[in-house]
């Protein structure tokens, strides 16, 4: 590999397509038949990154209990943290209103003045954004940092190990989260961030920034778990990375919650279609990809993320998020007790 190039070929190991629209990180190789697949010996495989090996081996369902438990922990924990974060935000605003009535309204209308003209310009621009777009930029920044980290040769071993999900790896849990923020190809990053930017305003307006973050993180982890299960079924290890599993969760929620919203393709703005039909078509394509063994995308991860977003739209928001009062009461009592 040229570390500064655009392609990395892992010889001798089949690589799953990424969870994204396109990337040139790994070029897949196929085994000729099921019989040759069963006879193949597994072990660490050299990559074109100097000194970097990819762990490869048979994926047993018994080895998936750990990532399954991690998925449940991160998914539930993300919504618990989101609920507590929302409580703290509401509490802080209430205290500010009591101490300085009208200050929040003044700050929202006029913004907080900063020293220096450029800081005032940035502050004016920031205050003019929707809450969804203000929440989008930190996520985009984190993805860009990881994208740049891929370009540092000394970090490539860490990136392959922890920022690519691989069910055959010894590091099988944390990559389920970290790979959601990982892109090697600039086109892959650009496409995912464009879609997230397009849907973040509507999703945050509907859910609030706290619940949106819980949905995003949970969809990312659940999409990776779906990819692990699919690879275990077909008995073919591989690497995946990208934010599109999490983005598909957002897409599934928005398209289900607002099915009559008209969407269009960036290169065909004159052609529009309802969001409800769009998510059905996307999931049908991904289902076909899973059944037919297409390898360009990680279709199983897409399906897992979208299914979670749809489920959250129908049941999660009503039967989980809206039932968080006991948690908030417990946190309120714990917080008050700790401050006495």
Place of tokens 């290890």: 237
Q: Does 173 fall in a domain?
A: yes
Contact yes or no for 159/149 (Cβ under 8 A): yes
Sign of the CA dihedral running 63, 69, 72, 75 = negative
Query: What pLDDT, on a 0 to 100 scale, did the predictor assign at position 323?
Result: 93
Query: What pLDDT, on a 0 to 100 scale, did the predictor assign at position 237?
Result: 77
**Is the pTM above the cut of 0.95?**
no
Q: Does 32 fall in a domain?
A: no
Q: Which CATH number covers residue 292?
A: 1.20.1540.10
Query: What pLDDT, on a 0 to 100 scale, did the predictor assign at position 43?
Result: 56
Q: Does 75 fall in a domain?
A: yes
Give 202-227 pLDDT, tens digit per residue.
899 999 999 999 999 999 999 999 99
Query: What pLDDT, on a 0 to 100 scale, did the predictor assign at position 210?
Result: 94
Query: What pLDDT, on a 0 to 100 scale, did the predictor assign at position 37?
Result: 41
Contact yes or no for 203/254 (Cβ under 8 A): yes
Q: Does 15 fall in a domain?
A: no
Tens of pLDDT along the chain (340 residues) come to 333 333 333 334 444 444 543 333 444 333 333 333 434 445 565 555 656 677 777 777 888 899 999 999 999 999 999 999 999 999 988 888 887 765 555 555 555 555 567 777 778 877 888 888 889 999 999 999 999 999 998 888 889 889 999 888 888 999 999 999 999 999 999 999 999 998 998 899 999 999 999 999 999 999 999 999 999 898 887 888 999 999 999 999 999 999 888 877 765 566 777 888 899 999 999 999 999 888 778 999 999 999 999 999 999 989 999 999 999 999 999 987 765 5
38 is annotated as an active-site residue: no
Three state DSSP letters for 160-197:
HHHCCECCCCCCCCHHHHHHHHCCCCHHHHHHHHHHHH
302 is annotated as an active-site residue: yes
Q: Which of 181, 192, 183, 167 is nearest to 24 (CA)?
A: 183
Contacts of 294 (CB under 8 A, 6+ apart): 17, 288
Contacts of 285 (CB under 8 A, 6+ apart): 299
Q: Which of 22, 21, 86, 9 is nearest to 52 (CA)?
A: 9
Distances (CA, A) of 299 to 33, 156, 213, 265, 288: 21, 26, 23, 20, 9
Q: Does 221 fall in a domain?
A: yes
Element (H, E) at 45: strand 45-46
Contact yes or no for 139/216 (Cβ under 8 A): yes
Q: Does 8 fall in a domain?
A: no
Q: Does 5 fall in a domain?
A: no
**Structural domains in the chain (count):** 1
- Catalytic entry in 179, 218, 244, 313: 244
Contact yes or no for 198/263 (Cβ under 8 A): no
Q: Does 153 fall in a domain?
A: yes
Give residue 313's domain range: 61-89+128-329
């Amino acid at each position: 590999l040229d570390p500064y190039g655009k392609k990395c070929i892992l010889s001798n190991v089949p690589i799953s397509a990424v969870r994204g629209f396109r990337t040139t990180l790994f070029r897949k190789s196929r085994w000729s038949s099921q019989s040759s697949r069963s006879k193949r010996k597994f072990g660490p495989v050299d990559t074109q990154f100097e000194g970097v090996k990819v762990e490869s081996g048979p994926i047993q369902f018994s080895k998936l209990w750990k990532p399954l438990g991690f998925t449940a922990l991160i998914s539930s924990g993300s919504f618990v943290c989101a609920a507590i974060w929302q409580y703290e935000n509401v509490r802080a605003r209430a205290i500010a209103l009591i101490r300085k009535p009208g200050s929040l309204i003044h700050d929202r209308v006029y913004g907080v003045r900063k020293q220096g003209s450029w800081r005032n310009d940035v502050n004016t621009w920031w205050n003019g954004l929707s809450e969804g777009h203000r929440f989008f930029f930190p996520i985009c920044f984190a993805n860009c940092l990881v994208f740049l980290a891929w370009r540092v040769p000394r970090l490539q071993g860490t990136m392959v190990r922890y920022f690519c999900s691989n069910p055959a790896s010894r590091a099988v849990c944390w990559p389920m989260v970290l790979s959601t923020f990982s892109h090697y190809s600039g086109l892959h990053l650009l496409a995912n961030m464009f879609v997230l930017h397009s849907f973040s305003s509507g999703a945050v307006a509907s859910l609030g920034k706290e619940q949106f973050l819980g949905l995003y993180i949970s969809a990312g982890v659940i999409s990776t778990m779906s990819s692990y299960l699919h690879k275990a079924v077909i008995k073919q290890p591989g690497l995946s990375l990208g934010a599109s599993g999490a983005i598909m969760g957002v897409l599934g929620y928005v398209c289900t919650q607002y099915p009559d919203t008209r969407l269009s393709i960036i290169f065909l703005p004159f052609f529009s279609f309802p969001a409800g039909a769009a998510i059905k078509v996307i999931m049908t394509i991904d289902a076909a990809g899973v059944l037919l063994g297409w390898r360009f995308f990680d279709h199983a991860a897409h399906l897992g993320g979208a299914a979670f977003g749809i489920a959250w739209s129908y049941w999660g928001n009503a039967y989980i998020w809206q039932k968080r009062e006991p948690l908030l009461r417990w946190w309120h009592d714990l917080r008050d007790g700790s401050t006495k």
